[in-house]
Amino acid sequence: MSASGGRTVLGIDLGGTKIEGAVFSVADDVPVELARKRVATRRDDGYDAILGRVAALALELSTTAGLGALPPVGVGMPGGVTRRTGAVKNSNTTCLNGRPFRDDLSHALGVPVRFANDANCFALAEARFGAAREHARGVVFGVILGTGVGGGIVMRGEVWDGPQGIGGEWGHHVLERGGRPCYCGRQGCVERYLAGPDVERAYAQRSGERRPLRDIVARRGEDEHARAGTDEMIDAFGRALGNVISILDPDIVVLGGGVSNVDLLYDEGRGSVAANVFNDELTTPIVRAHLGDSAGVIGAGLLVA
């Protein structure tokens, strides 16, 4: 218990480029931060280095927060954990795949660790404290649009990851058979058309020059290649999210990640979704996340709150 009377937890958001941790207490549904730190993942260093980095960060944060022992630990990361062996699967930090990261981290820290997909953590945080708070007792679909594309489902305040641990994984349903190759082994996955680096790569192939996504969007009215790339992105967004809404019919969709800052998603993108939903209207709110970069680490902690 914390001084404020809430349950003290430690959340770790393990991404491809950074590892962020935070110790906070939850009292009266308000997170009170006690310590926070971010370090580089350096995934090219390999499995053992990442494991050591996460363990060291957790121990340091516990000390910084003035705790006598580690609090409950929750970890969110791309991918998930297999039900059969407990090994990591579907992570874009590929050195983790096939390895028992959860068990190894628990052994290194000497406490149980709960894992979830990072998009599930994002959705949980936004449902509890963010943009979907008014819909927390319904169905919330949380979307991460960044270097990858992920999704998480929260139903009645609880993460729904499904019996196979793949609930919400809309980024790897196939939009185009025989389309762009994906690291998952398939071709034509949603991620290859909506992730920021993929939109930038497609622009470079069309134009012969590389530009960041924000510049591509800004040049849409004067650059035919930028227009083609953003049109393709909006079309993919509409078809992919339209499929999800037709199946899940959530109370709200919350967008996070760097690509979610593209204003087009909320006007033309929404129109594209409406055109692809199996209904004659689209009433589902599609909104920006409120918690920013904090959502992942807060959601990880909420797994054990």
Q: What is the pLDDT of residues 9-20, one digit of tens each?
A: 999 999 888 899
Q: Please write the tens of the pLDDT for every residue from 260-282.
A: 999 999 999 999 999 999 999 99
256 burial level (CB within 10 Å; 0-12, 13-18, 19+): buried
Q: Please write the tens of the pLDDT for every residue from 72-85.
A: 999 998 888 888 88
pTM of the predicted structure, to 2 decimals: 0.90
What's the fold here for domain 7-120+294-302? Nucleotidyltransferase; domain 5 (3.30.420)
CA pair distance 23, 32, nearest whole angstrom: 9
CATH architecture of 135-288: 2-Layer Sandwich (3.30)
**Residue ranges matching CATH 3.30.420.40 in the chain:** 7-120+294-302, 135-288
Q: Do residues 249 and 242 touch, judged by C-beta distance below 8 A?
A: no
The DSSP bridge partners found for residue 60 are: none
CA pair distance 56, 52, nearest whole angstrom: 6
